[in-house]
Chains A and B, each alone.
Chain A
């Protein structure tokens, strides 16, 4: 097991390195030039070739790409994420100010989504065909189709503008004002949850339905075990593998959703920074954000792989 984990971590690190390379080289090979964006943004009329070269040199963009990547990687290992091309401010400062905000919103969505989704799916499976199952399954089918930004706007209209129950947008740290922070997070979290929640519910339902037909469940019933023991201990644990796989994928889904939802609700997190820095082609920001995204996703996959062995001891890691 230990050998497996070590091997898996090494593979994860290789994937991370390759993922950062993909972003790094990809951005430089595609058309688009941050230096020109800076010049346009500052509306400098009288720039000449020399000035552009000077700016390029300042940001190390005149060096061969391999050298640029190597310098970047060495700096990252020393905790230096570079400076923004557009604002000239240190990237690390901005990133670490925004990271907790995104983790707060996304973390809440992930935890609440699974705390609701798994029981909902299990209940549907046990009460298959009953009205509760029909209602939840229909809602889940709608949930995986509703565009999250649109849902955000509808919620905003109903609860923010019409009923005035919730603040329309913004973010407050829970340490400053817990009640306001919670109220502001209700709508964004619902929007982020909806897709993973619907997915987990569907998955939990169908994998429970598969398991509930098994012989050992019938045996458990005939032994006279209580329903709760059968459902949780015998059925759910055996149906958990696909649910855990989906939970791993939900991390990427929620991060992707955050990019849009943070923009809709004006939350100053990494997602909104991603959109603005991608549009202004600010390489250092995009590189730093994609590094964090890749770390989160790769780490989630690692946890999922290790969890498989814990859930199902038949899975042996060679």
Chain B
């Protein structure tokens, strides 16, 4: 944990004025693990973008002569039961995981934020309807909810995205609602109202910007959760159709050859863990830099 104390508004007379960005950068990068997380995420992003150039083999191409080869100089992580190169499949699997994670988290954040904003700011029956629905959806563990939706919708990346998004929306709605309920008691909101600002203006101009730091922190952390959930679904064989490389299903496929070829399961699982760890560390760093009050809550 960062031990540094930041100068709040009240102490600005004594503390030398530091630009917000510099302060952010200093706190954010003060922990080694956060820097590690940033580097790992950047590497994963580069790998995802340039997957076809980085992968030594075609991830779909079976090579029956090289079935189940142990890690060697031609296949660094060996090959699977039909001779596909494990490393190439992990590299292409980065695309699947990152793409699903990013889309799910952003769509869920936008929808959830709007719902929470409406519920928290307008209140009344809208609050009751939205927040009770959130309670209802949250009675089911995210993985179970996504499992049911994905199984009903059938295979395909798009359906996995829909299933996970539905599971994640309530998290943002509840968070945003709580933020707005606290923010709207502030005097500047009352002042805005007094000068005749419209609800829309208050929401867009004041409530969203003030709640944004918290949302960004939670979004980063939820990227990890989403990657884990997606891996869990594809591990169970639900969602992504077979030839598409996905880390979760690779772990599952490797299970049959665990005794002789443990690397088939171990390597993709390690990729999942590394990516999730990186997202969590960056989330921790962002939390300390953007909204230290959240420490302990998230």
Contact = CB atoms under 8 A, between A and B. Distances in A.
A317 interface: no
A94 B69 CA distance: 43
Contacts of A259: 141, 143-144, 147, 236
Interface stretch (A63-71, A78-86, A107-115, A275-283): A275-283
Nearest to A17: B136
Contacts of B266: 150, 153-154, 157
Nearest to A239: B296
Contacts of B269: 147, 149-150, 153-154
B265 A153 contact: yes
A32 B151 contact: yes
Most chain B CB within 10 A, of A147, A206, A263, is at A147
Given A22-B136, A150-B269, A256 B295 contact: no
Interface string A47-87: 00000000000000000000000000000000000000000
B144 A297 contact: no
Most buried by B among A31, A149, A203, A297: A149
Contact of B265 (A16, A150, A257): A150
Contacts of B259: 157, 161
B141 A147 contact: no
Contacts of A193: none
A242 interface: yes
Interface stretch (B46-54, B109-117, B270-278): B270-278
Interface string B248-278: 1001101100110010011001101100110
Contact of B276 (A22, A30, A145): A145
Nearest to B135: A15
B153 A293 contact: no
Interface string A249-280: 00011011101100100000000001100110
Contact of A30 (B132, B137, B153, B258): B153
Contact of B296 (A23, A161, A242): A242
Interface in B269-294: 269-270, 272-273, 276-277, 280-281
B148 interface: yes
A98 to B, nearest CB: 15
Interface string B108-148: 00000000000000000000000011011111111110011
A136 interface: no
B149 A157 contact: no
- The prevalent SS among residues of B at the interface is helix
Given A154-B269, A206-B296, A22 B154 contact: no
A156 interface: yes
Contact of B139 (A206, A263, A294): A294
A15 B228 CA distance: 28
B154 A18 contact: no
Contact of A149 (B149, B224, B251): B251
B43 interface: no
A206 B1 CA distance: 10
Chief secondary structure at chain A's binding surface:
helix
B250 to A, nearest CB: 10
A207 interface: yes
B152 interface: yes
B224 A275 contact: no
B98 interface: no
B57 interface: no
Contacts of B140: 19, 23, 252, 290, 293-294, 297
A209 B296 CA distance: 9
Interface in A133-190: 141-142, 144-150, 153-154, 156-157, 161
A210 interface: yes
A290 B137 contact: no
A298 interface: yes
B152 A298 contact: no
B231 interface: yes
Nearest to B221: A144
A95 interface: no
Contacts of A15: 132, 135-136, 139
B235 interface: yes
7 contacts: A15-B132, A15-B135, A142-B273, A147-B276, A210-B296, A274-B147, A297-B141
Given A147-B273, A147-B276, A293-B139, 5 more contacts: A141-B277, A147-B235, A153-B251, A274-B144, A294-B140
Interface of A: 14-16, 18-19, 22-23, 26-27, 30-32, 141-142, 144-150, 153-154, 156-157, 161, 203, 206-207, 209-210, 242, 252-253, 255-257, 259-260, 263, 274-275, 278-279, 281, 286, 290, 293-294, 297-298
Give me the 7 closest cross-chain CB pairs, A-B, nearest first.
Answer: A256-B141, A150-B269, A30-B152, A206-B296, A145-B277, A145-B276, A32-B152
